[in-house]
Amino acid sequence: MLVLTRKNRESVIIGRPEDLEVMLEITVLEIEGGRVRLGFEADSRMPIHRREVWDRICNGEFQPNQ
C-alpha cells in the first residue's frame, strides 16, 4: 500500500505517464475533525464506489446504479 500525506486542496493523480493519460484525480476538499472530504475526477465510464458498496457489489448483494 502506498501511503501519502496531502493537505487541503492537494491532489493525487493515477494515470499512465507513457501517454500522459490521467485516469483518476483525487483531491482533498475539506479536513474537519476526524473526517476528510475527497473529490474524484475520472472518465464517466470508470465506476467509483465506497469500499462497503464495492464489497456488496462483489458479493452480489447490490447492483450499481440502483
Residue with cell 493515477: 14
Contact criterion met (CB below 8 Å) for 25 and 12: yes
Interatomic CA distance for residues 4 and 55, integer angstroms: 24
Q: Residue 1 domain-assigned?
A: no
pTM recorded for the entire structure: 0.80
What total of structural domains would you count in the chain? 1
In tens, the pLDDT along 18-64 reads 888 899 999 999 999 999 999 999 999 999 999 999 999 999 997 76
Long-range own/partner contacts, residues 15-24 (CB < 8 A, 24 or more apart): 24/48
Q: Residue 33 domain-assigned?
A: yes
Q: Is 42 exposed, middle or buried (0-12, 13-18, 19+ CB in 10 A)?
A: middle
User: What is residue 66's predicted lDDT score, i.e. its pLDDT?
Assistant: 55
For residue 65, name the pLDDT band (cuts at 50, 70, 90). low
Per the structure, the complete domain to which residue 34 belongs is given by: 11-58
